[in-house]
Amino acid sequence: MKVLVATEKPFAEVAIRQIREVCEAAGFQISFLENYGNARELIDSVSDADAMIVRSDLVTSEILDAAKKLRIVVRAGAGYDNLDLKACSAHNVVAMNTPGQNSNAVAELVFELVLFQIRGGFTGKTGTELRGKTLGLHAFGNVGKYVADIAKGFGMDNYAYDPFVSERVMKNNGAKQCINVDELYRKCQYVSIHMPSNDITNKSVGYELLKKMPHDAVLINTARKEVINEDGLLKIFEERTDFCYLADVAPDCKAVFEEKYQGRFIFTEKKMGAQTEESNINSGVAAARQIVDFFKSGNEKYRLNK
Ligand code: 3PG
């Protein structure tokens, strides 16, 4: 069996060593395509792969056409908006993700962004504190739960909105349920977004929601830029000088922010929520193990294209 690890944004060395160990212990060959510049390079590398591990790398029909032997692709991470699931099914390729494995890293990034922002970028400017402030978790999956857990340590007052999660689960994880999304944005000075990007969620956070946020609002988006309606975001920034936006990664309208709203935003250069050694090890090794289990015992847990 040949496993290709195709990561435009490479895993840490320590993770690569462990991914290699898992594959080689199973008798599989492993090769790496890292830091590649375009789909052509992936197309050229995938032709003899039986399995592939990717991160946010696009897996399209074109890639799958070239992957003549491919049986399984595992997205080492949670969000799978980069996988064309219909095309995977059409090519008889099993698609999986590794949910939960990088969630703590993303949750910690939320606070790294927030603390830097509310302490004025560590310039000596007077800042503010988190204790007693309201935090809204927009979606309460793996990342949302970790964020709630960390926020408890800061003494924040946690709320959550998620149509797929019960009040009991929220309560057990330290958050009070909001019955609708309007209530979440109305109640919470800080709102942290943790929903996937899909046809329903894309552009779902716009002006009407944002205008409900209390004074000194801070919107944190470590999910996907696509879930924000950028026209609405710009409108709220134009109207309210007390509004901040912290995001992993920059919106398409980044240039407007740079020109008009210095000091009220932080955008990461490259998506880095999951970019820790621990997270790379967790998700990369999980992906390798899922591939080994799939070939050795037919295990299809975490299959996305049923
Ligand atoms: C995820 O969905 O798991 C995160 O966004 C991580 O993405 P990355 O693997 O590209 O860092």
Write down the domain spans for the chain.
2-101+275-297, 103-267
pLDDT of residue 306: 83
User: What is the Cβ-side half-sphere exposure of residue 191, based on CA atoms within 13 angstroms?
Assistant: 30
Mutate to test the pocket of ligand 1, among 35, 36, 55 (most ligand atoms within 8 A of CB): 55
Mutate to test the pocket of ligand 1, among 271, 275, 279 (most ligand atoms within 8 A of CB): 271
Distance CA 162, CA 139 (A): 5
CA distances from 49 to 28, 288, 290 (A): 11, 14, 16
79 Cβ below 6 A of ligand 1: yes
Residue with tokens 């590398």: 45
Mutate to test the pocket of ligand 1, among 56, 58, 283 (most ligand atoms within 8 A of CB): 56
What is 208-271 written as a DSSP string?
A: HHHTTSPSS-EEEE-S-GGGB-HHHHHHHHHH-TT-EEEESS--TTHHHHHHH-TTSEEE-SS-
225 Cβ below 6 A of ligand 1: no
18 Cβ below 6 A of ligand 1: no
pLDDT of residue 133: 98
Which structure tokens are listed for 230? 């950028």
194 Cβ below 6 A of ligand 1: no
- What is the chain's pLDDT, residue by residue, as a tens digit (306 residues)? 999 999 999 999 999 999 999 999 999 999 999 999 999 999 999 999 999 999 999 999 999 999 999 999 999 999 999 999 999 999 999 999 999 999 999 999 999 999 999 999 999 999 999 999 999 999 999 999 999 999 999 999 999 999 999 999 999 999 999 999 999 999 999 999 999 999 999 999 999 999 999 999 999 999 999 999 999 999 999 999 999 999 998 999 999 999 999 999 999 999 999 999 999 999 999 999 999 999 999 999 999 998
Q: What angle do CA 12, 17, 30 make, to 5 degrees?
A: 110
Nearest Cα residue to atom 5 of ligand 1: 79
For residue 54, report the distance from its CA to the centre of ligand 1, in Å.
10
Domains 2-101+275-297 and 103-267 share a fold: yes
54 Cβ below 6 A of ligand 1: no
The answer to whether the CB of 29 falls within 8 A of the CB of 2 is yes
pLDDT of residue 282: 98
* Ligand 1 atom with minimal separation from the 80 CA: 2
271 Cβ below 6 A of ligand 1: yes
CATH code given to domain 103-267: 3.40.50.720
For residue 81, report the distance from its CA to the centre of ligand 1, in Å.
10
Nearest to 144 by CA among 104, 97, 117: 104
Would you tell me how many other CB atoms lie within 10 Å of the CB of residue 3? 27
The answer to whether the CB of 32 falls within 8 A of the CB of 47 is no
SS3 for 220-238, per residue?
Answer: EECCCHHHECHHHHHHHHH
For residue 79, report the distance from its CA to the centre of ligand 1, in Å.
6
CATH code given to domain 2-101+275-297: 3.40.50.720
Nearest Cα residue to atom 2 of ligand 1: 79
67 Cβ below 6 A of ligand 1: no
Entry pTM: 0.97
Sign of CA dihedral 200, 161, 111, 79: negative
56 Cβ below 6 A of ligand 1: yes
